[in-house]
Amino acid sequence: MSTNIIASTATKARPLTAAEISEIEHEMELYPDKQAVGLEALKIVQKHQGWVSDESMLAISKFLDIPVADLESVATFFNLVYRQPVGKNVILFCNSVSCWIMGCDGLRSHINDQLGVDFGDTTEDEAFTFIPVPCLGDCDRAPVMMVGDDLHRNLTEEKIDQIVADYRNKE
């Protein structure tokens, strides 16, 4: 599964919530034009909705008065805008060179075995979505992954099991 799918098919916008509008308007005060607010608006909607549906994309387009195609381009370029539903927790798993040298392939297999998901998949209970990402900028402590906003370093199979258990216990 790619997290980005180009071309919205929605014909009806989902009304933005009051909180989403308020936060987008706040961003509009910080940026010189509406076009520049596009990415921030996508991130705001994703924070509130978990992902950016076609209906949400259309709503942002109408609200900012910018073409859906422009927003789609931003979402495609910024590949952490989720254009499909994701699990409650998103595992962003670095598979760039330092993490690869330090054995991330084996850890990927471990996650695959433990959670029954590979890159692009969401667990059956919708607790986790597993997504590969390029370097997370902490190469000297590879292998590295993020879950939500938390960075986890020097990963081992045991650490991953503990991290997964901790997130499950938060549910």
Which residue, 43 or 153, has its beta carbon nearer to ligand FES? Answer: 153
* H/E element, 23: helix 18-30
Which residue, 13 or 139, has its beta carbon nearer to ligand FES? Answer: 139
Burial of 160 (C-beta count, 10 Å sphere; 0-12/13-18/19+): buried
In the complex, what is the shortest distance from the CB of residue 46 to ligand FES, in angstroms, rounded to a whole number? 23
In the complex, what is the shortest distance from the CB of residue 136 to ligand FES, in angstroms, rounded to a whole number? 4
C-alpha 136/C-alpha 150 separation (Å) is 11
Which residue, 138 or 157, has its beta carbon nearer to ligand FES? Answer: 138
- Residue that has been written with the tokens 């900028």 in this structure: 137
In the complex, what is the shortest distance from the CB of residue 146 to ligand FES, in angstroms, rounded to a whole number? 10
Binding site for ligand FES (CB under 6 A): 94, 96-99, 135-139, 142, 144
Q: φ, ψ for residue 142 (rounded to 5)?
A: -70, 155
